[in-house]
Structure 1
Amino acid sequence: MAKVVVIGIPGESGLWLADLTAGTVTQLPKPLSGELATAESLRHSGGAVVKGVDFAVAVSSADQVFSGHFEG
């Protein structure tokens, strides 16, 4: 089972690494390389890359999540 997730959010430059075991989120250092750099390039062109995730929703605040809402 995956314990790390790479996240990119529209309007946010760069990618983020969420380590579920450590409970941390850190920005990935640039320059990216390999397939990760290719995926980031696709993202900036409006594409989305989804692999190994079965639920993801972006909202404007944690309060929305804790109140049961997940509309941005």
Structure 2
Amino acid sequence: MANVVVLGLTGTPDLWLVDFDAGTVTPIEPSGDTPLGQAENLRQAGLTIVKGVDVAVAASSASGVASGILDVE
């Protein structure tokens, strides 16, 4: 299995490709007629899509996460 994930934060239009092996985060713009583009269209309509990820938490700062603080609402 590849060590990449596509992320999008609620309330933002951007999608990001995170490559864990390379240690990179790259903005992506999927085409509307691809499966990822179709998923993006559903996301923009308010659907949350999760596949193959067992932990994902948005945080307000990296320093809070690094110090072990995790505020889950």
Question: What is the TM-score when the length of structure 2 is the normalising length?
Answer: 0.85
- Aligned pair count? 72
Deviation at 1:25? 0.2
Distance 1:11 1:21 in 2: 28
Instruction: Give the corresponding residue for 2:64.
Output: 64
Instruction: Give unmatched runs, 5+ long, in structure 2.
Output: none
Distance 2:59 2:33 in 1: 29
Distance 2:24 2:32 in 1: 20
Question: What is the TM-score when the length of structure 1 is the normalising length?
Answer: 0.86
Instruction: Give the corresponding residue for 2:44.
Output: 44
* RMSD after superposition: 1.7
**What secondary structure does 1:37 align onto?**
helix
Contact 1:16–1:27 (Cα < 8 Å) also in 2: yes
Higher RCO (CA-CA < 8 Å; seq separation 6+): 1
Distance 2:23 2:36 in 1: 22
Contact 1:58–1:70 (Cα < 8 Å) also in 2: no
Distance 2:43 2:19 in 1: 21
Contact 2:13–2:44 (Cα < 8 Å) also in 1: no
Distance 1:62 1:8 in 2: 17
- Check 1:62–1:43 CA distance in 2 against 1; reply closer, same or farther (3 A cut): same
